[in-house]
Amino acid sequence: MAEAERIIGTPDSAGADESAASDGTEAPAERPRGRRRIVALFTVALLAYLLDLGSKVLVVEKLEGREPIRVIGDLLRFDAIRNPGAAFGMGEAFTIIFTCIAAAVIVVIIRLARKLYSLPWAIALGLLLGGALGNLTDRIFRSPGVFEGAVVDFIAPAHFAVFNLADSAIVCGGILIVILSFRGLDPDGTVHKD
């Protein structure tokens, strides 16, 4: 968390940047730019969350307890399963820990969003936030109980683990962050070369 705060800055340091301006024109120009990126982050997060939630409701209603649906022959099928563990079904005994990690990721992204001036970073963090919220919703509200719920997974490629749209959003957001980091684009919109 300290590294993320160092890169983006904390919300407490936002006022210091604005007061450091020598004239009153620079600070107002920064505010709309920052708000647009926050709106982008939360729009992407909301879209990812709603798509995940809607797909899980549909899967539980129409597919759970039934035969898998073959989408592309033997290469891809939809098969409803409940996953109490992490990715690829690992760590079933650590459901509460995964719930806490997802909650911490959400808090860090929301806390750091104020200093976000890069649209690509807003999209990446929005995907992470939406995916984390989607799986956290399952952990909190699905059986067997609060903070121990099993995540609904249903996308089943051949010879791979079953996953859901929240997992896809998290992976895509993570890949985008790696690409942005390699290109030297910081979340505050600056470009650096190492």
Q: Which of 153, 186, 188, 194 is catalytic?
A: 153
Please give the backbone phi and psi of residue 91, each rounded to the nearest 5 degrees, phi first: 75, 40
Q: Could you confirm whether 167 is annotated as catalytic? A: yes
Which residue is associated with the tokens 């597919």?
63
Please tell me whether residue 162 adopts helix, strand or coil conformation: coil
Concerning whether 52 is annotated as a catalytic residue, the answer is: no
Q: Which of 168, 147, 164, 146 has its CA nearest to residue 63?
A: 164
Catalytic residue among 52, 74, 167, 186: 167
What is the distance between the alpha carbons of residues 89 and 125, in angstroms, rounded to a whole number?
24
Using CA atoms, how far apart are residues 110 and 125, in angstroms rounded to an integer? 9
**Host H or E run for residue 39:** helix 26-62
Q: Measure the N-to-C terminal CA separation of the chain; round to a whole number of Å.
A: 22
What are the residue numbers of the active site? 153, 167
